[in-house]
């Protein structure tokens, strides 16, 4: 097994402090909102893995199809000796890319806020690929990132369509930050879900089995455990709607009746009117032109564009201008 290094740049108490700040900001404004990162405790991560296997949820399968078909081409085009993966999680989907980049690939730098996920991925990859140096970073890539010294060219991967969970101004900030990671010869590989018919999009976020509803409501369990909130999931219903103007899906929790959620640790009481909604996720969908333009605004050029056979999802490869 190859040795691996884990470096923490995220303070130990950052998660709790961020959650408190997001609740105080997001639940005291109108309309109410919380960022989607709070879905992903252990139970939320399990539910999301279940979502990726649902018949309605096409993005994971579509992205895997592209990676299987194009990983060799991506490896040939980039010649990457270092792979950096932002929001790596279990690193499972990246394995196709790693296998294609070998034997030239020397270093893998997974970046995630979850140390346990990074440690599990590093141990698995280290056992299977003892020749690969692994330097995991416990960090929040949305705050900017300093990478360890590794050989170039470097390929920075941001897969899974996570870009769409960022609001437009957050996307612009992220892409500018990603640009700073790229030296001459480096590239950014990014996954984006594409605009398509409303029925397909809504079904992907409101499945018949109710798994996405459970995933959405899991944020209430996180608030209860971490902040002592008395939110009852049965008091809310899951809602997924398509916004054709912004071209994004919104996931919301809608209060079934008038209620108040108390946060004793924050000395906060949050009233909900009957039917009032809390936005828990935005998932933007893209067109090629929009991806090209947003990359250009951040100082990058769209060099390659690959989609699955049905044109549902895209991987784009960008280089610094």
Q: Which residue has the tokens 């991925």?
A: 121
Residue numbers of the chain with a pLDDT score lower than 70? 1-3, 10-15, 90-91
Q: What is the DSSP letter of 54?
A: S
SS3 44: helix
Helix axes 288-297, 168-180, angle to 10 degrees: 60
pLDDT at 83: 96
Q: Strand pairing partners for 136?
A: 6
pLDDT at 131: 87
pLDDT at 30: 94
Q: To 5 degrees, how large is the angle CA 76–CA 82–CA 86?
A: 105
Percentage of residues of the chain with pLDDT beyond 70: 97
Q: What is the DSSP letter of 33?
A: E
**Contact between 296 and 165 (Cβ < 8 Å):** no
Is 137 buried (19+), middle (13-18) or exposed (0-12) by CB count in 10 A? buried
- Provide the whole-model pTM: 0.92
Residues 6+ apart with CB under 8 A from 22: 34, 35, 38
What DSSP letter does each residue of 198-256 carry, written as one string? HHHHHHHTS-TTSHHHHHHHHHHHHHHHHH-----GGGEEEEEEEETTTTEEEEEEEES
In angstroms, the Cα distances linking 204 to 8, 46, 60, 172 are 35, 17, 11, 26
Q: Return the structure tokens found at 319.
A: 């280089």
As separate numbers, helices (DSSP H) first and strands (DSSP E) second, the chain gives: 9, 14
pLDDT at 40: 83
Radius of gyration of the chain (CA): 20
- What distance in Å separates the CA atoms of residue 188 and residue 176, rounded to the nearest whole number? 12
SS3 35: coil
Smallest CA-to-CA distance from 152 within 107, 118, 103, 95 is with 107
Query: What pLDDT digit, counting tens, does each position of 247-262 carry?
Result: 999 999 999 999 999 9
pLDDT at 1: 57
- What distance in Å separates the CA atoms of residue 209 and residue 215, rounded to the nearest whole number? 12
């Amino acid at each position: 097994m190859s040795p691996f290094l884990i470096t923490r740049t995220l303070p130990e108490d950052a998660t709790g402090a961020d959650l408190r700040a997001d609740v105080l900001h997001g639940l005291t404004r109108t309309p109410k909102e919380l960022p989607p990162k709070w879905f992903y405790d252990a139970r939320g991560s399990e539910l999301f893995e279940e979502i990726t296997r649902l018949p309605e949820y096409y993005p994971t399968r579509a992205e895997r199809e592209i990676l299987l078909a194009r990983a060799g081409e991506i490896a040939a085009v980039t010649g990457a000796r270092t792979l950096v993966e932002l929001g790596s999680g279990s690193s499972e989907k990246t394995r196709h890319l790693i296998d294609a980049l070998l034997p030239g690939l020397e270093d893998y730098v997974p970046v995630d806020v979850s140390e346990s996920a990074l440690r599990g991925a590093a141990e698995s990859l280290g056992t299977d690929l003892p020749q690969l140096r692994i330097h995991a970073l416990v960090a929040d890539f949305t705050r900017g990132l300093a990478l360890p010294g590794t050989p170039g060219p470097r390929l920075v991967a941001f897969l899974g369509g996570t870009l769409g969970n960022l609001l437009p101004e957050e996307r612009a900030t992220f892409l500018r930050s990603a640009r700073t990671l790229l030296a001459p010869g480096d590239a950014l590989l990014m996954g984006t879900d594409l605009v398509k018919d409303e029925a397909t999009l809504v079904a992907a976020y409101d499945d018949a089995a109710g798994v996405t509803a459970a995933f959405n409501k899991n944020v209430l369990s996180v608030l209860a455990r971490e902040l002592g909130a008395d939110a009852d999931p049965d008091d809310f219903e899951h809602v997924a709607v398509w916004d054709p103007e912004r071209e994004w899906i919104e996931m919301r929790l809608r209060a079934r009746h008038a209620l108040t959620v108390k946060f004793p640790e924050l000395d906060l009481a949050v009233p909900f009117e009957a039917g009032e909604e809390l936005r828990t996720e935005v998932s933007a969908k893209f067109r090629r032109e929009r991806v090209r333009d947003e990359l250009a605004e951040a100082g990058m050029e769209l060099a390659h564009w690959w989609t699955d056979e049905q044109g549902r999802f895209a991987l784009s490869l960008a280089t610094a201008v």
